[in-house]
Amino acid sequence: MKTTLQDIAPHISSIREYLALDGGDIELVRLSPDASTLYVRLLGSCRTCDLSPTTIQLGVLEPLKRHFPSLQAIEVLKD
């Protein structure tokens, strides 16, 4: 079965709660056709945070890969 954004959305809720503690948020934008890359937009304080690359890698990608092994990267869209 092909992974969709709707499949990923429920797994992002706990991550969003974590980001909200620092005044940030994340928006799921799209998934690559092969489901290997998730495109997101950072919101709030996450947009300008120097630690956002680390947050994306360790706080978003790694937890999602446990549920979606085909997911290999997250690309942050600027606007």
Boundaries of every domain in the chain:
5-77
Residue 8 and residue 64 in contact, taking contact as beta carbons nearer than 8 Å: yes
What pLDDT score was predicted for residue 32?
Answer: 96
Beta strands in 2-48 (DSSP E): 24-31, 37-44
And the tokens for 15? 């991550």
Q: Is pLDDT at 1 greater than 90 in this prediction?
A: no
pLDDT in tens, 14-64: 899 999 999 999 999 999 999 999 999 999 999 999 999 999 999 999 999
What pLDDT score was predicted for residue 17?
Answer: 92
What pLDDT score was predicted for residue 79?
Answer: 75
From CA 60, how far away is CA 44, in angstroms rounded?
A: 16
> Checking DSSP bridges between strand 73-77 and strand 24-31, what pairing results, if any?
unpaired
Q: What is the pTM of this model?
A: 0.92
- Second CATH level (architecture) for the domain 5-77: 2-Layer Sandwich (3.30)
The neighbouring-strand residues paired with 43 are 25
